């Protein structure tokens, strides 16, 4: 059974079985107790250097054999908040995301549109917008998140499928 099917069967109501937890722990990045400590960019901040943030994320992705998930949006963006809430409420999916992707939020707002950086990627027609990069920085996928919506939120099946489809092949 694939990851999406497993998520839907358990309904994310039960805890991840111990064997799956052990597998995720092995895939997850090293703890902060090691000499190297990477902090993912999990908030939109117009003052951040987004190019440096992506460069640092790529170094972490190389070190941990993950892809980079770039989320472009802003604090003003209602759907960006819905996506954060979605991952807060779906711990198993968030764990899978974090085991397979280095997250980087890139601000897009009147204060800083990060135009120079974003010119290297396909145009985003709405926000949030997701870009998946491999650990070398190659663009693997550009995702319009409206295709992942369901009602006034996000679809568990659509997000799970997206994450599974673009996770590194290990």
> What CATH number has the domain bearing residue 64?
3.40.30.10
Question: Does 4 have pLDDT greater than 90?
Answer: no
Residue 32 lies in a domain: no
Cα–Cα dist 83/99, whole Å: 18
Domain holding 143, by residue range, is: 3-26+39-166
Question: Does 13 have pLDDT greater than 60?
Answer: no
Residue 34 lies in a domain: no
Residue 27 has a pLDDT of 47
Residues 89-109: what's their mean pLDDT?
98
Structure confidence by residue, pLDDT tens digits, 153-162: 999 999 999 9
Cα–Cα dist 166/132, whole Å: 7
Residue 31 lies in a domain: no
Cα–Cα dist 68/133, whole Å: 5
Residue 65 lies in a domain: yes
Q: Identify which of 41, 72, 73, 65 has the alpha carbon closest to the alpha carbon of residue 55.
A: 41
Name the strands in the sheet holding 139-144, side by side, starting at the edge strand that comes first in the sequence.
Answer: 101-107, 67-73, 129-133, 139-144
Instruction: Count CB neighbours of 135 within 10 A.
Output: 19
Question: Does 101 have pLDDT greater than 90?
Answer: yes
Between 15 and 71, where is the model more confident?
Answer: 71
**Structural domain count, the chain:** 1
Q: How confident is the model at residue 33 (pLDDT cuts 50, 70, 90)?
A: very low
Residue 106 lies in a domain: yes
Question: Does 3 have pLDDT greater than 70?
Answer: no
Residues 134-156: what's their mean pLDDT?
97
Residue 60 lies in a domain: yes
Residue 169 has a pLDDT of 92
Q: Identify which of 47, 49, 67 has the alpha carbon closest to the alpha carbon of residue 57.
A: 67
The per-residue DSSP string of 3-59 comes to: HHHHHHHHTTTSPPPHHHHHHHHHHSPPPTTSS-----B-S--TTS-HHHHHHHHHH
């Amino acid at each position: 059974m694939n990851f999406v099917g497993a998520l839907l069967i358990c309904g994310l109501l039960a805890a991840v079985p111990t064997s799956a937890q052990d597998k995720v722990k092995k895939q997850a990045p090293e703890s902060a107790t090691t000499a190297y400590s990477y902090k993912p960019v999990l908030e939109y901040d117009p003052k951040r250097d987004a190019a440096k943030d992506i460069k640092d994320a790529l170094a972490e992705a190389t070190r941990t054999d993950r892809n980079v998930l770039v989320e472009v949006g802003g604090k003003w963006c209602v759907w960006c908040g819905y996506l954060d809430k979605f991952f807060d409420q779906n711990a198993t999916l968030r764990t899978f995301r974090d085991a397979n992707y280095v997250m980087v939020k890139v601000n897009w707002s009147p204060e800083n549109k990060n135009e120079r950086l974003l010119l290297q990627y396909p145009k985003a027609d709405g926000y949030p917008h997701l870009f998946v990069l491999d650990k070398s920085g190659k663009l693997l996928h550009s995702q319009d998140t409206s295709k992942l919506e369901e009602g006034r939120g996000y679809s568990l099946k659509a997000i799970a499928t997206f994450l599974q489809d673009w996770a590194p092949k290990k």
